[in-house]
A and B are shown apart, each in its own frame.
Chain A
Amino acid sequence: MRHHLILRVITKILAGTIMLFAFYVQFHGDYSPGGGFQAGVILAVAFILYGLVFSVETVQQVMPPWLVHRAMALGLLLYAGTGVFSLLTGYNFLDYTALAPHHPEHGQELGILLVEGGVGITVTAVMLSIYYAFVGRTPVIGDEEW
């Protein structure tokens, strides 16, 4: 899409804004609609939009496939690890009181933050790796065909 000047400029402006909005959805999920799942998807959309308008190679310089594949597992590990941590400190699995035994409410808030972070990382990575898997297979359709 080398000659789509408007698309390229708008994408450059929007990609950062979309990422910012994704983080807002992620960390403001306690107060407003949204959470890890939605934020993960929105963050992945920022990368995919960039990949669509520029090229997959450009995105893969920022987010190389090996990093994405590891991030998939990292998110799930962060989630399960929170559970195992509370298990090891003598509470029930995924009982967030373990994170701050003297302030159960703070523990809950911290636990939700960690868990939602794990969800967000996994969802972003999975969406990106699916996108990479689909796009990486064949040469992209030429502009004139659309």
Chain B
Amino acid sequence: MAIGLAAVRTRSLFALVMLSGGFSLISAALFVTLDAVDVAFTEAAVGAGISTVLMLGTLALTSRYERPPAHRPWLPLFVVTVTGAALIYGTLDMPNFGDANAPAMQHVMPEYLAREPHEIGVPNIVTAILASYRGYDTLGETAVVFTAGIGVVALLATLARRRRRRDGEEEES
């Protein structure tokens, strides 16, 4: 909470990147307390590690301070407040933490838990679900990551190469 407020207040983008990295680390700790160790691992590695470095790399390309806003913040503030209130209202219907009758625990989860040990026999059931039962989804996720990489390479890497080629031609002529 305090980190979020500080991140909104600050104008220094460097401090902002560091704060968001710290925020990711804290939410990773939160996931650990919720017993979602795999998610926490991902959050710590991606959120706190890689994205901080990539943001710093972007920062090196742009300016290091945010411009003062050109317009009044009231309309965005209103939208954010209403959306936040709607989301909090939505959580009122959610089952209690650790409730065995929660919908997420009812649907396919008991079946996976019962079938996994003799069908796959991998102790970490998250891995089994991710790679085997939900193999299609994971293939899709990998394809998404791949597409993102291709997009960045197509946008940025060719630009650098073109500029280098142009510089080379100028040197020759």
Contact = CB atoms under 8 A, between A and B. Distances in A.
Contact of B60 (A41, A118, A140): A140
Instruction: Say which size band chain A's interface belongs to.
Output: 35 or more
Interface in A31-81: 31-35, 37-38, 41-42, 44-45, 48, 52, 65, 69, 72-73, 75-76, 79-80
Nearest to B45: A41
Given A31-B123, A35-B38, A140-B60, A116 B45 contact: no
Contact of B146 (A75, A83, A134): A75
B121 A108 contact: yes
Interface of A: 25, 29-35, 37-38, 41-42, 44-45, 48, 52, 65, 69, 72-73, 75-76, 79-80, 83, 93-94, 96, 104-105, 108-109, 111-112, 115-116, 118-119, 122-123, 125-127, 129-138, 140-141
A76 to B, nearest CB: 5
9 contacts: A33-B40, A48-B50, A96-B132, A108-B128, A111-B131, A119-B138, A126-B148, A129-B152, A136-B156
Mostly, the B contact residues are helix
Interface in B95-128: 118-124, 126-128
Nearest to A118: B142
B123 A134 contact: no
B61 interface: yes
B133 to A, nearest CB: 10
A57 to B, nearest CB: 14
B119 A105 contact: yes
Contacts of B157: 65, 129, 132-133, 136
A25 B57 CA distance: 26
A33 B118 CA distance: 20
Contacts of A83: 135, 139
Q: 10 closest Cβ contacts across the A-B interface?
A: A126-B149, A133-B156, A134-B57, A33-B37, A94-B135, A112-B131, A41-B45, A108-B120, A30-B122, A105-B121
A90 B61 CA distance: 52
B145 interface: yes
Contacts of A108: 119-122, 128, 132
Contact of A31 (B50, B119, B124): B124
Given A52-B53, A137-B156, A41 B46 contact: yes
A76 B53 contact: no
Contact of A33 (B122, B124, B135, B150): B124
